[in-house]
Amino acid sequence: MSILVDENTRVVVQGITGRDGSFHTHQMVEYGTEVVGGVTPGKGGMKQDGVPVYDTVQEVVEKEGANTSVLFVPAKFASDAIVEAADAGIKLVACITEGIPALEMSRVSHQLQKKKVYLIGPNCPGLISPGKSKVGIIPGRICKKGSIGVVSRSGTLTYEIVHHITHAGLGQSTVIGIGGDMIIGMKFMDCLRLFEEDPETEGVALIGEIGGTDEEEAADFIKNEMEKPVVAFIAGLTAPPGRRMGHAGAIISGGEGTAKEKVEAFERAGIPVAHEPEEVVKLLNGLMVK
């Protein structure tokens, strides 16, 4: 089956005529994603890569049956664009935009929870169910349809580990980059719950990084709620103390959120932790054989 996106996903691209929006629309269309419309206010009536452009998300929902949105909207407009999508009836929003203020995302997250809308991101690469639908910027060529679910806070590390999983012949059911900001939509536990319920997913690779406590909470969830095997990799073991690394969410505060603490949390829960990205496949193979 895969999770969140599949052959029935009908995508609207918010910010479709901008540099990033137009480039990645072309990539999604080329991959086979059903991109049914785009939105750039004031440019309704034109086309981008054969995709009709509208002035509002509501029009794309009503005229094209869109059920999923991907945002390439400038940061100062992005929070309003997320709310517009939710108000129009979109049930899954992938926000690629980075630099949205945390206070704005706090407000948006609260509104989306009331509307029961899934939000991936912001500041994320999106998601892909190989051979079915690609929503965002994850390179389709490195993915292969298979049985491993991947959920990650990191962008480039996602690509590297997905490449190793593909090269090993396991493939992926769905790959999700949840984003590295301090306030995001779906977290590890939300994705893990869906992978546990998905009959096509036989194992999961979780890619975490320093900052916050989401990985520790995920370790408890895996131990208590999951039967499927999970392998973890935590980036940032060599991060200098007190230095911010990469994402806005990669901030260690009050002694919490270090890579060492996260690794120890997984090990206490009996979850194998890879020390190098390529080791993820070896650990998965070992668990899948059992």
Residue 61 lies in a domain: yes
CB 166, CB 212: distance < 8 Å = no
- The pLDDT of residue 245 is above 90: no
What's the pLDDT at 253? 46
- The number of beta carbons lying within 10 Å of the beta carbon of residue 224 is 8
Domain membership of residue 39 as a residue range:
10-120
Q: Give the CATH number of the domain where residue 20 resides.
A: 3.40.50.720
Asked if 15 and 187 count as a contact pair (C-beta separation under 8 A), the reply is: no
Q: Helix, strand, coil % (nearest 5) of the chain?
A: 35, 25, 40
**Claim to verify: residue 211 and residue 265 sit in the same structural domain:** yes
Whether the per-residue pLDDT at 289 is higher than 70: the answer is no
pLDDT per residue as tens digits for the range 74-87: 999 999 999 999 99
Residue that terminates a domain, selected from 57, 85, 120 = 120
How far apart, in whole angstroms, are the C-alpha atoms of residue 236 and residue 90? 35
What local confidence, expressed as pLDDT, does residue 246 receive?
Answer: 52
Average pLDDT over residues 125-150: 98
Residue 255 has pLDDT above 70, yes or no: no
Residue 2 lies in a domain: no
Does residue 24 have an active-site annotation? no
What is the band of 252 on the pLDDT scale with cuts at 50, 70, 90? Answer: very low
Reported as a pLDDT band with limits 50, 70 and 90, residue 259 is confident
pLDDT, tens digit, 9 for 90 and up, residues 48-79: 999 999 999 999 999 999 999 999 999 999 99
**Do 115 and 157 have their domain in common?**
no
- Which of these ranges, 133-137, 192-196, 284-288, has the smallest mean pLDDT? 284-288
Confidence of residue 241 (pLDDT cuts 50, 70, 90): low
CATH of the domain at 169: 3.40.50.261
CA–CA gap between residue 52 and residue 168 (Å, rounded): 39
Residue 127, domain member (yes or no) = no
Contacts of 56 (CB under 8 A, 6+ apart): 39, 41, 84, 88
Do both 156 and 276 map to the same domain?
A: yes
Give percent of the chain above pLDDT 90.
Answer: 83
**Model confidence at 288, in pLDDT bands (50, 70, 90)?**
confident
Question: Do 52 and 190 belong to one domain?
Answer: no
Residues 144 and 277 in one domain: yes
Boundary of a domain, candidates 88, 120, 152: 120
Look at the chain and report how many structural domains it folds into: 2
Please, which pLDDT band fits residue 256 given cuts at 50, 70 and 90?
Answer: low
Q: Among residues 24, 163, 164, 247, which one is catalytic?
A: 247
Q: What is the per-residue pLDDT across 184-223, written as a single tens digit (0 to 9) for each?
A: 999 999 999 999 999 999 999 999 988 888 999 999 999 9
- Does the pLDDT of residue 125 top 90, yes or no? yes
**CA atoms of 60 and 40, how far apart (whole Å):** 11
Mean pLDDT of 147-154: 95
Supply the pLDDT for residue 2.
92
